[in-house]
Amino acid sequence: MTDRNLFSVIPYKDQLIKLAGANKAIAYYRHHAVDLLTGSSFLYDFNNWIEENQLILLNTNFDNPRVIHLFYELGFLIEKEFHLLSVDTMLVIDIEFNSFQEILPADFSKIHLDLINSPDLDDYKKSFEVGYQELLKGNCYQFNLTYPYLFSFEKGLRAEDFIFSLWRDKTSWGAYGSATYIPFFKKLFLSNSPECLFQFKEKTLSAMPIKGTLKRLDTEDWRPIWKCLVNDKKSQAELYMISDLLRNDLSRIEFPRAQIVKKKFPKLVPGLLHQCSQIDVELSASVNLWRVIEKIFPGGSITGAPKKRAMRLINELEKRERGFYCGSTIILFKEMKSASINIRSSVVDFENYSLLYQAGGGITLLSDVDDEYKEMTYKRDSFIHTLTL
């Protein structure tokens, strides 16, 4: 039986747009795939998906919306770390829709979450110390350490309840947010991401990494907090390292001329003030979608530097798959060609009535373990409080 109740919702030009009527919705693994409309599984070589997207030019206009969820572990395949991939490791969810319409937050049930499991401070400190020793040895310069939080909720809630609770007004919309409900998995992939992996306009591809975070009240004047953030040596070191990594990644796409056009600017999100930069590169009309993914995914801000070494270290320390979290969601819709980095993101499981949220931050030689742990909780609160207000 075919189930076409799958849908996505995206913020678009001050509107919430619902994408529906999927023509194709497939979850891809390394050696097989699953049709998310019929539930059928079939043998599939992931190299075929790569080849298909080598034919998709980035300067194309997309009349039919396409949503591509890149899962974090796709990075292991790109870096040829095949031993870190299991047969059940999801790499990509790729959906093509044939209809779209504006929607308004309608009647929705209030979300109440109960915390089931959260990171233990002692466990966090042990992982922090192991990673910190790698920094002292010079094996990497920064790594992103993250942990999961698991919540439960009552039966009877719908995907729309979570979506409208998170985005009930425009002030809470993440600039690169997305929501996709997949009936076959009985899961909602819900992201309120403020972070851009890439954005393509005309000939220019831009990346805008976030590094550096301070807590703030939503009613508070952010300018004194910004002054503290820009003068924080640890935050500056984080941002400059990752900006340089992104400049190198963007330069590898085609021409070695990516430039940091904004060294440091503020981004306000619920409960937090972030520090960002912007790196631009001009591309020719022949650049394809896979070329961009291959050279810059996963985003350096959620791995560290050097990227490959940091990813190996993260895998050793976290001992779990990040999955949707720290992956990217690509939206191809008319002139919109953008990709998030899926921070402030969760997976809502309607079979087990649970919500998985993950958070973390960049660790450098200037990091303090207690401060990093607190920052992780601030990022948790930014999402959870917005969702449950």
Query: So which residues are the catalytic ones?
Result: 195, 211
Amino acid at 333: F
Q: Are 186 and 36 in contact (CB under 8 A)?
A: no
CA distances from 350 to 37, 186, 322, 354, 382 (A): 18, 5, 19, 7, 23
98 HSE (CA, 13 A, CB side): 7
Q: Look at the block and give the residue holding tokens 């929501």.
A: 179
Question: For residues 294 and 258, what is the distance between their CA atoms, to the nearest angstrom?
Answer: 16
Q: What span, in angstroms and rounded, lies between the C-alpha atoms of 245 and 232?
A: 20
Q: Angle at Cα 344 formed by Cα 340 and Cα 350, nearest 5°?
A: 105
Per DSSP bridges, beta strands 204-208 and 272-282 are: antiparallel
12 exposure class (CB count in 10 Å sphere: 0-12, 13-18, 19+): middle
How big is the chain by its Cα radius of gyration, in Å?
20
Which helix or strand (DSSP H or E) is residue 317 part of? Answer: helix 307-318
Q: Which amino acid is at 221?
A: D
CA 263 centroid distance within chain: 22
- Is residue 287 within 8 A of residue 57, CB to CB? The reply is yes
B/e letters for 49-73, b = 16+ CB within 10 Å, e = fewer, are bbeebeeeebeeeeeebbbbbbbbb
| Residue 255: DSSP 8-state | S
Peptide bond just before 194 cis, omega within 30 deg: no
